[in-house]
Chains A and B, each alone.
Chain A
Amino acid sequence: MKTRQLLGVLLLALLWVLGPSHAFAYLPSGLVWLPEDLPVTYTINERGSDDLSLEQLEALFAASFATWTEVPCTTIAVSYQGRTATEAAIDEEHVMSFVESGWTLGPNVLGANSAAVISLLPKRVSSDITFNGETKTWRIGGGGANLNVIDPQSVFTHEIGHFFGLSHTNDDGSATMAAAYLPDTGQRSLSHDDKWGICDLYPNAASTGECDTTDDQCPPDSACGQLGNNFFCIEARDGYGDFCNSSHINCQDTCVYTLPNLTAGFCTKLCVADVDCGDGAECKPFGTVQVCALKDVAPPEADDFSTDTNEADATSGFDFGVVDTGSSADTTASADADLETTDQVDSALTPGETSEGCGCRIASSSPRRSWSWWLVAPLAIFFGWRQQRP
């Protein structure tokens, strides 16, 4: 095995373990293309999509890949190899395809990147992206509140992030690599967290990022800040209680809708205790769950939300003897919906300030990192043994 290749694997594994300098930020998935792999090739299955022409698909994939490759501080690059009859399979052709019949991940899953290391000697990697054409309609711009109609470029850009080695981010609910599909098409554009990730994985020594420590080069509502080795324009995200809807999502964590047609909602975060919410905020009941809200400001009224989910007379239907008569009835927030509290809010969190401890998010990073030690340790031993040989 070439020492360079092994060193590359080792360094990437170490990168995986060490991760970014922030505790909560982008997460590498573990698969990173090596310099000799660049440009990474891809093809588009000639079956195309029932909803989009092949010409549209080619343009959309080109734009989605370019969103990543044109970040100044990265060297990641791709090369389109044209249309192909090849289906997604465990091979070295990286195929983008739609599954119009026989989608096997269920109706709520929009796309998936599946990959495997075929061999290490030489390194051969399989990586394909498939999209759910069976139960979803794909239309440029998406369907707004109709979540059965999906914006292709948003999902393509997200899946390409996986293809390049990024996992879902813990840090920014409005990032391209946030796990959720956001119907406002905002995921077509990378957030600072996405750019930080791609630049850490594929650093370009000739660039220091998109700004030079001053805010002048950044768009309004963003400020220049250093993340890792580069400077990025860091967006000011909306804080707890700020307005959001299916056309506008700029939440640090998540947008919870308060109207069935998704035309109104508020930014918040699931929580189990006040400590999950950070300074100046509390964990308060909302419907059947608890959400973070600013102190002395109640979450919006939950009645429009799902008034029938806390009925005490429902039975579980299971034979487990534990009967809960539903104290949850009192968990419905009683305060008035007041989405105008946004004026009182100035709590857009910066990445370093994101509160930790919400049970809904803390599980995502540590298992992977502990797994990676099993890879790193033997490789380190092996590499050391190789170095000591005469």
Chain B
Amino acid sequence: MSHRSLSLLFLLALGAFGLVAPAPVDATVVLWSDVETLAENADLILVGELIANDSAERAASFGIYTDYTFQVTSVLSGDVGETVIVRLPGGEDAGRSVVVAGVPSFEYGETYLLVLHGIQPQAYGESGDTPYYVPLGLSQGVWTLESYGSEIEAVQRHTDVVFLDGAGQVVNVAPVESTPLSTLGARLAQGAQR
């Protein structure tokens, strides 16, 4: 095997392991909201389990998007069917990959609390009237639910913390630490009722 072929083979092997994947490029400037304001501005607040994900190129500004399908297990605010699709930029399609760091990712089988904003399919060049969703404030609108004995904790793992109110109203701070689901739920419920 020639030198060049070996080199190519090695790079293909890297690619097979995802190592020639895109650079982990950072992404966003976010206005941070307190939990109540986040809920107030949400179209949908729910708990769901990730049951499927699929990436494809869309006719929208970030090119490749990943659809995360969640089985809805509980709804705090908004109307939704048994499943909901969260569509986020990034993913792999036809050998090409886009990464938009700062955009949250989800793991199959995990249960999440999601504070969501609806985006009409026309934004992706599609027809229909069933919206896709994006977490408000990206990772700020995502909590992983974890059980600790009889306790259920909502854990937020976003990496960036800022404390501005996107609505210019009352400003609070958003904790990123583990929070009892009941406490977080109460705050979200209050915000959703504003």
CB distance from B6 to the nearest CB of A (A): 9
Contact of B185 among A30, A260, A306, A316 (CB under 8 A): A316
Known: A104-B87, A162-B27, A288-B175. A180 touches B189 (CB 8 A): no
A167 to B100, CA, bound (A): 12
* Interface residues in A, total, Cβ within 8 A: 96
The answer to whether A322 and B181 have CB atoms under 8 Å apart is: yes
User: A145 interface residue, CB < 8 Å from B?
Assistant: yes
Contacting residues, chain A, for B98 (C-beta < 8 A):
90, 114-116, 126
User: B188 interface residue, CB < 8 Å from A?
Assistant: yes
Return the CB mask of A346-366 against B: 1 if under 8 Å, else 0. 000000000000011101100
User: B167 interface residue, CB < 8 Å from A?
Assistant: yes
Contacting residues, chain B, for A361 (C-beta < 8 A):
159, 161
Most chain-A CB neighbours within 10 Å: which of B24, B35, B77?
Answer: B24
**Residues of B near any A CB (own CB < 8 A):** 3, 7-8, 10-11, 14, 17, 19-36, 41, 47, 60-65, 74, 76-77, 87, 89-90, 96-103, 117, 119, 122-124, 134-138, 140, 150-152, 157, 159-177, 180-190
Nearest residue in A to B38 (C-beta to C-beta)?
A: A108
The answer to whether A111 and B29 have CB atoms under 8 Å apart is: yes
A110 to B33, CA, bound (A): 14
Return the CB mask of A26-44 against B: 1 if under 8 Å, else 0. 0001110000000000000
Known: A112-B28, A113-B26, A180-B30. A88 touches B62 (CB 8 A): yes
The answer to whether B89 and A105 have CB atoms under 8 Å apart is: yes
Query: Contacts A104-B60, A316-B182, A316-B189 given; 12 further ones with Cβ under 8 A?
Result: A105-B134, A109-B28, A109-B30, A114-B90, A120-B11, A130-B61, A181-B29, A288-B187, A316-B188, A319-B74, A364-B159, A378-B14
The answer to whether B162 and A254 have CB atoms under 8 Å apart is: yes
Contacting residues, chain B, for A126 (C-beta < 8 A):
98
Nearest residue in A to B177 (C-beta to C-beta)?
A: A359
Nearest residue in A to B145 (C-beta to C-beta)?
A: A320
Most chain-B CB neighbours within 10 Å: which of A181, A360, A378?
Answer: A360
Nearest residue in B to A304 (C-beta to C-beta)?
A: B170
By Cβ-Cβ distance, the 9 closest A-B pairs, closest first, are A316-B185, A180-B162, A179-B160, A102-B123, A364-B159, A31-B23, A324-B182, A115-B25, A116-B22
The total of Cβ contacts below 8 Å across the A-B interface reads: 301
Return the CB mask of A363-382 against B: 1 if under 8 Å, else 0. 11000100100110010001
The answer to whether B117 and A106 have CB atoms under 8 Å apart is: yes
A128 to B22, CA, bound (A): 14
Contact of A183 among B60, B123, B164 (CB under 8 A): B164
> Can you list 27 residue pairs at the A/B interface with Cβ under 8 Å?
A1-B7, A30-B23, A102-B60, A102-B124, A103-B61, A104-B89, A106-B134, A108-B33, A110-B30, A113-B26, A115-B99, A116-B97, A155-B29, A167-B101, A180-B32, A183-B164, A256-B171, A257-B171, A260-B171, A289-B172, A309-B34, A317-B76, A317-B188, A320-B152, A326-B183, A359-B176, A364-B159
Contact of B176 among A270, A311, A315 (CB under 8 A): A270
A121 to B61, CA, bound (A): 26
Residues 112-150 of A contacting B (Cβ, < 8 Å): 112-118, 120-121, 125-128, 130, 145-148
The answer to whether A328 and B183 have CB atoms under 8 Å apart is: yes
A321 to B185, CA, bound (A): 12
Most chain-A CB neighbours within 10 Å: which of B24, B90, B98, B161?
Answer: B161
